[in-house]
Amino acid sequence: MRFGWLTLALSPSPDEDAARIGQIIEQVQEAEALGFGDAWLTEHYFTGESVYNDAILFAAALAMKTERIRIGFAVVQMPFHHPVRLATQLALLDNLSGGRIDVGVGKGTIYNEYEFIGHGLRSDDSRARMEEAVDILQRAWSEAPLDYEGRFHTLSIPEIRPKPVQQPGPPLWRSVISPASFTECGRLGFPILTARLPVERISERWALYQAGLEEGGHDAATRERLLEQSALWRNVYVAESDAQAEDELAGLLTRTREHMMHVREAFNPKDFKIDPQSLNAWTDPMVSHGDGVAMAMETGSIFGAPARVREQIAELRDVGVRHLLCQTGFGDMDHDQNLTSMRRFGQQVMPAFQ
């Protein structure tokens, strides 16, 4: 199995932002030293989540501080970026990193409307904005010159320079949830990221993705590469005992959820309504913190002493998971606590699967 590391770090106050940013750099360096193959950055704004905020700029710092680990985005919120500017930034970043960039793309958070408003937008047309931006991104890396006339952008550019190291450009990943999305991404040949998928559903979803790959006519080597890349995201916390891990993770997730619900209540406009079909127990404000955390622990987390964590990962391996993204920090978790859990995982769990 391949293991990736993911950060969704929260700085609890502006006074701590600089220190927290430095700590994330240390955590990524530790992830590389422990043998994680990739480090993934999330993108959020205005409330201390993803405290570096500008994931593209922050990734450039990581590229200078690391040597081997790939650097990914889970995900770039495409409506917030001009596609030509983004194509240029990612091409430069691919050069700075020596071709170590993976780009998850998304239409933007479906819960935090205040992020759209902060960028002078609303989310109603976010999918259309994303699709047009992805089209421009891919074509800008491979077509020179490029003339484009779309709904949101009309542009004419001679050429993107520097060219990305990875040709025709850094791999574009999609975040998927619905069964149809697995099949569609397979057909189009996109590597995929998915989260909080119950174990009993993984084989079924991976089979849909594989069917899409075959429907898309991809050759055997491409199908195998994409199946190996496809990633499942889990919270991962390793402690000295199973009971300690359960108690401490539950507390961390409770504080995380309390913050998440507070900022949405405080900053989302009154006219914003979330599609009820998009909600689950973790994201639904009508569900108690206890029940929401229980859901996240049951369907989205791996935790315990090293022996129990090895058992849980073996279960995922046996249903087809080959690439596990490990979120090791939760909310305003202490830096040393995060590193301790990471080291237990890297030293006492990962070697059993490599």
Length of the chain in terms of residues written: 354
Q: How far is CA 228 from the centre of its chain?
A: 17
Q: How far apart are CA 111 and CA 76, in angstroms?
A: 16
Is the pLDDT reported for residue 88 higher than 90? yes
Q: Are the CB atoms for 189 and 213 separated by under 8 Å?
A: yes
228-264 residue pLDDT tens: 999 999 999 999 999 999 999 999 999 999 999 999 9
Residue 196 has pLDDT above 90, yes or no: no
288-345 per-position pLDDT tens digit: 999 999 999 999 999 999 999 999 999 999 999 999 999 999 999 999 999 999 999 9
Question: Whole domain around residue 188: which residue ranges?
Answer: 2-353
How confident is the model at residue 9, as a pLDDT?
Answer: 87
Using DSSP's 3-state secondary structure scheme, residue 62 falls into helix
CA 67 to chain centre: 21
- The amino acid that residue 28 corresponds to is V
pLDDT value of position 354: 85
What proportions of the chain, in percent to the nearest 5, are helix, strand and coil?
A: 50, 15, 30
Amino acid at 147: D
Q: Where are the beta strands (DSSP E) in 219-300?
A: 231-238
79: left (phi over 0), alpha (psi -120 to 50) or beta: alpha
> At 347, which amino acid appears?
Q
Q: How many CB atoms lie within 10 A of CB 177?
A: 14
Task: For residues 271 and 59, give the distance between their C-alpha atoms in angstroms, rounded to a whole number.
Answer: 35
The two structure tokens encoding residue 257: 């959820």
Average pLDDT over residues 111-116: 97
Tokens of 239: 């402690």
Nearest-CA neighbor of 6 among 33, 40, 29, 32?
40
Which CATH number goes with the domain that contains 59?
3.20.20.30
Q: How many distinct structural domains can be found in the chain? A: 1
Position 50 confidence tier, pLDDT thresholds 50, 70, 90:
very high
Residue 277 has pLDDT above 90, yes or no: no
Per-residue confidence band for 269, with pLDDT thresholds at 50, 70 and 90: very high
